[in-house]
Amino acid sequence: MTEIRVKICGLSAPQDIAAVAGAGAVYAGFVFFPKSPRNVSIEQAAALAVEAPAGLCKVALTVNASDAELDALTAAVPLDMLQLHGRESPQRVADVRARYGLPVMKAVGIAEAADIPQIALYEQVADQLLIDAKPPKEAALPGGNGLAFDWRLLAGRKYWQKPWMLAGGLTPDNVAEAIRMTGARQVDVSSGVETAPGQKDAALIECFTRAALAARG
Ligand SMILES: O=C(O)c1ccccc1N[C@@H]1O[C@H](COP(=O)(O)O)[C@@H](O)[C@H]1O
């Protein structure tokens, strides 16, 4: 059985990088979205990324970013993956992938069974898929809201050809159950390892990662 791979998103301080690497997570996410409490500048992210140990996959999360914004980001920050978390079309995903030569992970929001087919559309063009809770209409953020979707929507499904990650409202307490119900082999968390919006907690990162690695899908 393949080991679960963990992504901790929304890092903004050097101690966050140390906590993520120390816990055994594989992916470290930086949020480039000014409305987010986890937003980092290009300069901040570059400083954090150069401190990351070899082997930690550095992911830039953007929301409907323009080429100019992605040009600036990719020129300054040593990145391993781009996460597109807005309303990017399949064609936009393909264009970003071709332009930057980096693996692209596309987030897809799920609230009901009717949302599931769009995953297959993005599977054609993305390197990875991030299956997240669809944000409620009143939400200020397109992700990072600490809200889960009904995991039964994924239970017993034939899996996609591309690697995929489960996200949305995961915590140290529920991640094992989420893995068991969905069969996810990768999980992503932001709010669930924070003491306040944007404040990552090393002990919660450790607990989350330990619970995920011990889980059996
Ligand atoms: O974390 C954010 O602030 C954020 C902002 C804009 C888009 C996505 C964001 N986070 C991503 O949302 C999911 C779920 O987060 P949570 O665990 O429910 O808080 C996660 O994939 C983050 O990568």
Is the pLDDT reported for residue 217 higher than 80? no
Is the pLDDT reported for residue 1 higher than 70? no
**Orientation angle between helical segments 14-23 and 202-214, nearest 10 degrees:** 20
Q: Could you give the count of Cα atoms lying within 13 Å of 173 in the half-sphere of its Cβ?
A: 4
> Which sign does the torsion angle of CA 145, 6, 8, 119 carry?
negative
Q: How many CB atoms lie within 10 A of CB 133?
A: 20
Summarize pLDDT for 20-79 with one digit per residue, the tens: 999 999 999 999 999 999 999 999 999 999 999 999 999 999 999 999 999 999 999 999
Q: How far is the CA of 189 from the centre of ligand 1 (A)?
A: 7
Name which of 91-105, 125-139, 145-159, 175-189 the model is least confident about. Answer: 145-159
CB-based pocket (< 6 A), ligand 1: 9-10, 29, 31, 33, 36, 38, 61, 63, 85, 130, 132, 141-147, 167-170, 188-192
DSSP 193-205: GEEETTEE-HHHH
Summarize pLDDT for 139-153 with one digit per residue, the tens: 889 999 999 999 999
Ligand 1: which of 9, 35, 84, 134 to mutate, most ligand atoms within 8 Å of CB? 9
Q: What is the β-pairing status of strands 57-62 and 27-32? A: parallel
Q: How far is the CA of 217 from the centre of ligand 1 (A)?
A: 23
Domains of the chain: 5-214 (3.20.20.70)
Under 8 Å between Cβ of 148 and 133: yes
Predicted TM-score (pTM) of this structure? 0.96
Model ipTM value: 0.97
Under 8 Å between Cβ of 104 and 97: yes
Q: Which two tokens stand for residue 155?
A: 């239970």
Q: Please give the pLDDT value at position 157.
A: 72
